[in-house]
Structure 1
Amino acid sequence: MPKMKFVTENYPDLSSEVITATNINFALKWRGHTTVYFLKTKDETTTCFKNYMNRVNRRFPKTDGPKIYRSDNGGEFLAIGFRDACAAEGLATEMSEPEAHNQNGVMERTHRTLADTARSLMLQAKLPHYLWEYAIRSAVHTRNRVISRSDPTMTPFELFWDSKPDLKFVKTFAGNGVSP
């Protein structure tokens, strides 16, 4: 499972945890906010990275954005196009040692948390596997709107967007959204 992260800090990573899709997650450590993109092939990694960095750059000045990109040695992160995209963003690159998954622990834990949450949502709702992408999106949406140990006073959404999340549209996953 290829992984990457940034210092000041962003942790992108690929996960093919599920049957139907490969997803790339970007998590800003200093903001706690996670973004997920779903890929048909790993060749789309560079495009997703550029889209993500455009989003971050619109939100934060370059001086406040990611500075270092850390990755495992996944081929999609070693590709010339991807390295050029990092250089264009002014990101220094660091590679973890082969099989040293602990060097990218933030993203490993993010993948596990999202996968466990998505699995629980799907089991609770008795949904088929082909809806995995929706379960992951729901897990990311929820995770970005709950307080974590890294900042017990604000949610990742608040840290990223500088505003409180609007929770009036939060519904039960695969439910009718009506509270008992």
Structure 2
Amino acid sequence: MTGQRDLLTEYKEEKGPSVTFGGNGKGFTRGFGVLSNGTTTFRRVAYVDGLKHNLLSISQLCDKDYEVRFTKKACSVLNEKGKLALSGHRRENVYVIDMDSTITENLCFLSKASSDVNWLWHKRLSHLNFKTLNSLSSKELVSGLPQHSYAKESLCSACEKGKQTKASFKTKQVSSVTSPLQLLHMDLFGPVNIQSIAGKKYTLVIVDEYSRYTWVIFLRCKSDTPEELISFVKKMEVLNNLTVRSIRSDHGTEFKNSSLNNFFKNKGISHNFSSVRTPQQNGVAERRNRTIIEAARSMLSDSHLPTQFWAEAVNTVCFTQNRSLIIKRFGKTAYELFVGRKPSISFLHIFGCQCFILNNRDQLGKFDPKADDGIFLGYSSISKAYKVFNKRRQTVEETIHRN
């Protein structure tokens, strides 16, 4: 039984027996759900309102054909095949089992990745943290990633410069939506002090509540927000055959205006606002802003590219994080939750790396170079192609012909 509702999946409200606490207080069973760490799953775990500790019943474990062993300092739970399912340690007169640590211990069965492979995939996935990288590998949530144990052997100077922080917002514990596009969180950041190559200074970040799938839209000025947002909502509804029901944002004039009010009224979309000067209430979008900006800053620092490439870095971060960040409630990536299939990441490359682009525009002589020098800038959002900066032409091109 547990007193933390957010630990349970497949939760169903159901009245159960009351539980008497040590101080003669009582808690009531509100429902039952499933508790899992990826390798061991307990079904029909009771949610008891007011319970301050998570409790495992030894008798019920034995009834399920588990074998429980105790020593002076530790305990272990073996499954019906005799393999270790859970382990714990003694704390005074109580044996404590950490289900999260059991997941980490399973990684010892994987071969350790070399230092070069460690940092290669860390950079390919937009400086992704190693805990998530190991989860992607061990649980086979993506294809194309070598199955190794990845370890942070030293500090990444680019991450230290890009992600240094004092504190973070608390994550949202409970979600009330059951499918994508029911609720969209959004926020605008900018103006960036240096325009992007395309002349943009603002970025509209949109996050789906259910899947946490994220989109970024680059704007020249704040007044472009209503037009871009209306176009985005129409496009998403047609492409996914789903309906946007609610939108959450702050009180910025880019979101609170007559154009959007009329559009939402005609579509039957409810528009919720966070309280004034309380960005925590728009925490989903605010935290995603921070995650994207920190990763983009790290990538620019690592690639030594000028700041004018910030929009390309942000777009690449959004692309890779949709395919790599794991949504804790479901144990899946945002891409899989939104699209319905596991993402492939075998084609990813390091942002800012040197490359060569096939020159198929000019009429070349017999011995003229066939390729131009380029800088890899990410992935196209409208076609199956890479975005590359052509050094000779000084333009950003989309091409599949690169080495």
Q: Could you say which structure has the higher helix fraction?
A: 1
Q: Compare 102-111 and 80-89 and name the one that shifted more.
A: 80-89
Q: 2:273 aligns with which of 90, 95, 101?
A: 95
Aligned residue type for 1:53: V
Query: What secondary structure does 1:77 align onto?
Result: coil
* Structure 1: 4+ residue segments shifted above 4 A: none
Measured against aligned partners, the alpha-carbon deviations of 1:81-120 in whole angstroms (never above 9, x if no partner) come to 0111222332112222210101100011000000000000
Whether the 8 Å contact between 2:187 and 2:204 is mirrored in structure 1 is yes
| 2:332 aligned with 1:158 | no
Q: What corresponds to 1:29 in structure 2?
A: 209
Q: Which moved more, 1:115-124 or 1:92-101?
A: 92-101
Deviating more after overlay: 128-137 vs 49-58 = 49-58
| 2:116 matched residue in structure 1 | none
2:254 partner SS:
helix
Output aligned runs, 1:27-176, within 5 Å: 27-62=207-242, 65-176=243-354
Shift of 1:149: 3.8
The more displaced of 37-46 and 147-156 is 147-156
Q: TM-score, normalised by structure 1?
A: 0.85
Provide the secondary structure at the position in 1 that maps to 2:332.
coil
Mapped partners of 1:58, 1:168: distance in 2: 30
Bigger relative contact order, structure 1 or 2, given CA contacts below 8 A and separation 6+? 1
> Within 2, Cα distance between the matches of 1:24 and 1:66?
17
Number of the residue aligned with 2:185: 11
Contact 1:32 1:150 in 2 (8 A): no
What residue identity is the alignment partner of 2:211? R
Aligned length: 169
SS of the aligned residue for 2:326 comes to: coil
Displacement, 1:70?
1.9
Superposition deviation, residue 176 in structure 1: 4.1
Structure 1 stretches of 5 or more lacking a match?
Answer: 1-6
Letter in 1 for 2:282: N
Q: Distance in 2 between matches of 1:151 and 1:139?
A: 22
- Kept in 2, the 8 Å contact 1:46–1:85? The answer is no
Distance across 2 between alignment mates of 1:88 and 1:174: 44
Report deviation, 1:131: 0.2
1 CA distance for matches of 2:231 and 2:213?
Answer: 16
3-state SS of 1:82 partner: helix
Q: Please state how far the C-alpha of 1:22 moved relative to its aligned partner.
A: 0.4
Q: Higher Cα Rg: structure 1 or 2?
A: 2
The answer on whether the counterparts of 1:147 and 1:153 sit within 8 Å (CA) in structure 2 is no
% identity of equivalent residues? 26
C-alpha displacement of 1:151: 4.2
Question: How far is 1:150 from its partner?
Answer: 3.4
User: How far apart, in 2, do the equivalents of 1:39 and 1:101 lie?
Assistant: 22
TM-score when normalising by structure 2: 0.40
Range 29-38 or range 160-169, more displaced: 160-169
Report the counterpart of residue 4 of structure 1 in structure 2.
none
For the aligned residue pairs, the C-alpha RMSD in angstroms reads 1.8
Aligned amino acid, residue 14 of structure 1: L
Paired with 1:148 and 1:85, the residues of 2 have a C-alpha distance of 33
State whether residues 33 and 160 of structure 1, in contact with CA within 8 Å, keep that contact through their aligned partners in structure 2.
yes
Contact residue 69 and residue 86 of structure 1 kept, 8 A:
no
Could you tell me how far apart the structure 1 residues matched to 2:234 and 2:211 are?
Answer: 16
Q: Deviations over 1:136-174 (max 9, x none)?
A: 001101110013243453211121111232323311111
